Amino acid sequence: MGRSCNLFFALAVLILLHHHTLLATVPNISTDEAALLALKSHISSDPNNILASNWSSFSPVCSWIGITCSSRYHRVTALDISSMQLHGIIPPHLGNLSFLVSLDISNDTFYGDFPVELAHLQRLKLINVRSNNFTGTIPLF
């Protein structure tokens, strides 16, 4: 009786641990928030203080300017920061926005390499990077 109880307990602990590690690898809206805050931190110039004042972890990501979320999955589906005079680089973290369908960063002054991580986004259908200063090639989607 005592032994089977111990066995049951050990099994329950194993299942809980496994469940916990599984949960830790499933991306959620916090993953999206981290990716967008990484983008914000790579923007060196935001002359109109658009993101500086609006993209704050004190307000929900889905209410941030330029962000659209899926109400069903509660994940970011569109990012539109076009024509905001933003200057900076696009960090690889944007490749974690696994529900992203539409990306519009046109008519800003982003430079550097366009991260290959974005090519892994399976739902991405619309991408507008027109009028920026990227070097190298934009990975094919």
Ligand X SMILES: *[C@@H]1O[C@H](CO)[C@@H](O)[C@H](O)[C@H]1NC(C)=O
Residues forming contacts to ligand X in the complex (CB under 6 A) are 23-24, 28-31, 34, 54, 56, 59, 63-65, 83, 85, 92-93, 95-96, 107, 109, 117, 131-133
Please, what is the minimum distance in Å from the beta carbon of residue 84 to ligand X?
Answer: 6
Tokens coding 114: 């366009």
Between 5 and 26, whose beta carbon lies closer to ligand X?
A: 26
Let me know: does 57 contact 32? Beta carbons within 8 Å.
Answer: no
Please, what is the minimum distance in Å from the beta carbon of residue 62 to ligand X?
Answer: 10
Let me know: does 77 contact 69? Beta carbons within 8 Å.
Answer: yes
CA dist., res. 133 & res. 104, Å (int): 15
At residue 113, what is the residue type?
D
Please, what is the minimum distance in Å from the beta carbon of residue 39 to ligand X?
Answer: 11
